[in-house]
Structure 1
Amino acid sequence: MTRYSHLTPAVAQALELPKSERITFCQTDRWIGYTRATQILDQLDQLLTYPRSLRMPNLLVVGRSGNGKSSIIEHFTNRHPVLMTESGSPIAQILRIEMPETPDETELWSTLLWALAISHREKDPASIKKRQAKSVLQYANVRLLVIDEFNNLTNAGKAAGDLLAAIKGLSNELKISIVAAGTQAAINALNSDPQMKSRFEPTALDRWKLNSEYLRFLASYEQLLPLAEPSQLASRELAPKLYGMAGDTIGGTVKLLKAASAHAINTGVERITAPVLDDLGWTRLGDWDAVARVV
């Protein structure tokens, strides 16, 4: 395997797979603990071990769409799976939900109940669902409620105040911390309740730059792509091209690398090169308006 020193041992073994399976391997999500992600994970771990108190600390993770918020949240929740005590009682330290697209209080409680695998009557009033949700959250020993797509709260209109009050009440009554994740609109969603907003510590996922952190990310990601030849993604030739094509979000870069590695396998090139990237006919998110103008 020394020939494939540009790959991790497990990925080098994947070179023996058929083309179709190698492409699937390339398209599977991978975790790379870059600096900002690791810092946010540390903040989340601190919340999880915070002693129950009258005023629990909360965290707001804000970033552009496609910049890794949901990946960090998913990695964090996967590190803390549901456990069972000797008596058979569940310990689900973390519950993750998504704020409904058009939320109201009754929809929020239904979302919580479904996440807890509790069947219920959708048409029941919010008060009944709330009692059910609180009871199960206590039984499961949930310590941290993670609400992804928190920016959807801006779609709630006048109901936004009731939703924030419900979330605040849940945190107060059960003494659990809230982690909200979303785009910049998530900040606007909290503006309607200054008291609630004061309980959140905001933390941002900055836009990526063509710097040493980006180069380290490319070098790490290359080790996870089952290509027989080294691509040198962090080189002077490829790194600026990748950044220019993918834009300043981690999601854009990952999407581009998945497509490029699949093309490299299909064509037999076995590495990502400038011509391979040119062959993709790539349109990054910021260029969609230009595409719309020519059709």
Structure 2
Amino acid sequence: MEADLNLEHILPARRSLVLLKDKQRISAIYEDRWVNHPQVALLRATARALYEMPPRIQAQCMLISGRAGMGKTSLLKKIELDLEVIRKRNAEACSCIAFSLAPDPTLNSFEDTIGEALGVPIGKIRNGLVSQAFCRLAHLRNLRLLLIDELHNLLNVGRIDQRKNLAFLRALSSPPMSLSIIAFGVDDAVHAIKSDAQLERRFQIYDLPPWKQNDSFRAFLTSYEGTLPLRYPSELWQQEKVNFLLSATDGMTDNVVKCITRGAAWAILDGKERIDLACLEKAIDIPPYHHRFDDEE
């Protein structure tokens, strides 16, 4: 069948999925996958540049902020994989660790979280300063960078604990550690960083705003459509579909993806093999495809 269809709208690595049975294709549609687009490609490149910079006395850091559902955690995991690829290609490359802040991060829980990420206790943090044991361990492991998710949780504790946590971040990015930090969080994370003048100078802040009607959003839709095993192009970049998606999802990446994937499932169920406006309108509901295929196989 593949030879009889023009599948240029699908990425080459995904075209064989078109030959699967409908139930299998729908399962493939719902699988989590990374979709690159210019906005995140720039942030990934910036993170790689930060990782490969020579150490500085005051480490350069970056904060990626945005509303919940804009794909920050997925981006963190992708950046972590990017840095792992660099490390594997170069035996002398520095290492990094990734972790999420606890919902109410006291200094003790901050210490425990980093210890878990390293696989060993790091020693007690005193007055926001890193322990000698942590410094020695970081040196032995050639630790260069920290990836921290949920940075906005810094504001979920009292002012005293907030000040201690911010002091600890300063200590991590200052001598003798001088670790670069790539942090992720909702808008409150920006307020946390800006509440400390020294940290604000060290952090470059990047925003992941909700999608709007622009070329970047159309590029994202085109890239995502390329992963869907539908036999005909959906042309999600068309104006009426762009209008609907932005209206129905408030421009949040997670909601856009849900709408598209459900719309693609409906396209298979309805025999259309392309996502039209009716499929997107039906995407408010999860397609009941499981019992539709009870007699299959």
Q: Same fold (TM over 0.5)?
A: yes
Contact 2:260 2:280 in 1 (8 A): no
Measured in 2, the distance between the counterparts of 1:238 and 1:60 equals 32
Where does residue 63 of structure 1 map in the other structure? 66
The reply on whether 1:166 has 2:168 as its aligned counterpart is yes
The one-character-per-residue Cα deviations of 1:153-188 (angstroms, maximum 9, x if unpaired) are 110222011111112212222221111211110022
| Structure 1 counterpart SS, 2:84 | coil
Measured in 1, the distance between the counterparts of 2:278 and 2:89 equals 56
Selected match of 2:41 from 38, 41, 47: 38
The structural deviation recorded for 1:111 is: 1.0
Q: Which amino acid aligns with 1:252?
A: N
Q: What is the correspondence of 1:249-260 to structure 2 with a 5 Å cutoff?
A: 249-260=252-263
Where does residue 26 of structure 2 map in the other structure? 23
The one-character-per-residue Cα deviations of 1:209-231 (angstroms, maximum 9, x if unpaired) are 11222112111211111112221
Where does residue 94 of structure 1 map in the other structure? 96
Q: Which amino acid aligns with 2:156?
A: N
Q: What is the correspondence of 1:136-147 to structure 2 with a 5 Å cutoff?
A: 136-147=137-148
**Aligned-residue identity in percent:** 27
Measured in 2, the distance between the counterparts of 1:125 and 1:64 equals 34
Contact 2:103 2:153 in 1 (8 A): yes
Where does residue 293 of structure 2 map in the other structure? none
Selected match of 1:117 from 100, 116, 119: 119
Q: Which amino acid aligns with 1:28?
A: E
Measured in 2, the distance between the counterparts of 1:245 and 1:152 equals 29
Contact 1:161 1:192 in 2 (8 A): no
Q: RMSD value over aligned CA atoms?
A: 2.8
Measured in 1, the distance between the counterparts of 2:215 and 2:193 equals 34
Worse-matched range after superposition: 227-236 or 177-186: 227-236
The change in CA–CA distance for 1:171 and 1:269 in structure 2 (over 3 A counts) is same
The structural deviation recorded for 1:132 is: 5.1
Q: What is the correspondence of 1:255-266 to structure 2 with a 5 Å cutoff?
A: 255-266=258-269
Q: Gapped runs of 5+ residues in structure 2? A: 287-297
Contact 2:111 2:125 in 1 (8 A): yes
Measured in 1, the distance between the counterparts of 2:136 and 2:248 equals 49
Measured in 1, the distance between the counterparts of 2:89 and 2:208 equals 36
Selected match of 1:76 from 55, 76, 79: 79
Q: Gapped runs of 5+ residues in structure 1? A: 284-295
Contact 2:48 2:82 in 1 (8 A): no
Contact 2:99 2:148 in 1 (8 A): yes
The change in CA–CA distance for 1:132 and 1:272 in structure 2 (over 3 A counts) is farther
Selected match of 1:51 from 45, 50, 54: 54
Measured in 2, the distance between the counterparts of 1:49 and 1:92 equals 8
Detail structure 1 runs of 4+ shifted over 6 Å in the superposition: none
Where does residue 110 of structure 2 map in the other structure? 108
| Structure 2 counterpart SS, 1:67 | coil
Contact 1:66 1:252 in 2 (8 A): yes
Measured in 1, the distance between the counterparts of 2:104 and 2:229 equals 41
Where does residue 202 of structure 1 map in the other structure? 205
TM-score (norm 1): 0.84
The structural deviation recorded for 1:57 is: 0.9
Aligned residues: 278
| Structure 1 counterpart SS, 2:227 | coil
Measured in 1, the distance between the counterparts of 2:270 and 2:141 equals 51
Contact 2:80 2:98 in 1 (8 A): yes
